[in-house]
Structure 1
Amino acid sequence: MNFLDAVPAIRRLETSRDDLLAIDVVGHVSAADGENLFGLMEAAYALHQRIDVLVRLVDHDGVDWANIAEETLKQGTVHATEYVGRCAAIGEPDWTADARHLLRASPSIELKHFTTEDEAAAWQWLGARPTGKQ
């Protein structure tokens, strides 16, 4: 195994808001990376009644959805509808239409796509800024 194989595709970003879960999604997302993402979200839900989410796609190369446990996906969807207020998606592809379809039970989640060039607008929309090493 190459030491680069162990680098996670989901990387948490430090922000100026403790109720904002911001992540980079880099390259290909394995099932283990997907499970890690749901774990990060569950940790945020445990600390806050409502959170916002920022997802920045970097050289995105797909997700192994079929290999993520069905129960994890179901629970993740239910919890997102209960806890997420706003979600900013930065980069390509724009997956917000698919997310709206999946989360149709919760019209209260605001999903908005931003191009990579408009990243500053995404942070502003969420009332936050990145802090620390990005």
Structure 2
Amino acid sequence: MNAAPDGSVIRREAPRADLLAFEVKDRITKPDIEWMSSIADAAMKEHGTIDMLLIMSNYEGSDLGARFDGYASAVMARSVAHIRKYVVVGAPAFARAMITLSGAVLPVETKTFDLADEAAAWAYLAEAGPAKA
């Protein structure tokens, strides 16, 4: 499945198996965040270390149930030990500030790009090579 159940998130094709790429196209629902979390969970179990690219082409927030989903929160907490690079394209200003701050205090390298610079984000991740050396 390339799209989440409610369609707010789609999985984008990536050039390597240890790079997950998602595009947020609408308001994120609980079923969609659980779908996305299950893919990330499986990738972390399979590869150990992964990179993640999140493209926020039309982010319109998230439903309350999505923000407080237990499974998604557990996957997010575990991801700190498994994500090498977390790259976000098109993040709103408040999210960009939070991403930058988290990169300063967590062992995950974070980087943000403007939506118009999506190609640069892909190039940055390509240059980085596989997540696990």
TM normalised by structure 2 equals 0.78
Return the structure number with greater relative CO, CA threshold 8 A, min gap 6: 1
1:132 corresponding residue in structure 2: none
1:63 corresponding residue in structure 2: 62
CA RMSD of aligned residues (A): 2.2
1:21 corresponding residue in structure 2: 20
TM normalised by structure 1 equals 0.78
Identity %: 26
Pairing of 1:21-100 with structure 2 (within 5 A): 21-64=20-63, 66-68=64-66, 69-94=68-93, 95-99=95-99
Structure 1: 5+ residue stretches without partners: 1-5, 129-134
CA 1:70–1:116: 2 relative to 1, 3 Å: closer
CA 1:79–1:49: 2 relative to 1, 3 Å: same
**What CA distance in whole angstroms lies between the structure 2 residues aligned with 1:113 and 1:35?**
24
1:109 corresponding residue in structure 2: 108
CA 1:101–1:36: 2 relative to 1, 3 Å: farther
Deviation at 1:47, TM superposition (A): 1.3
Is residue 49–residue 83 contact of structure 1 (8 Å, CA) maintained in 2?
A: yes
CA 1:32–1:52: 2 relative to 1, 3 Å: same
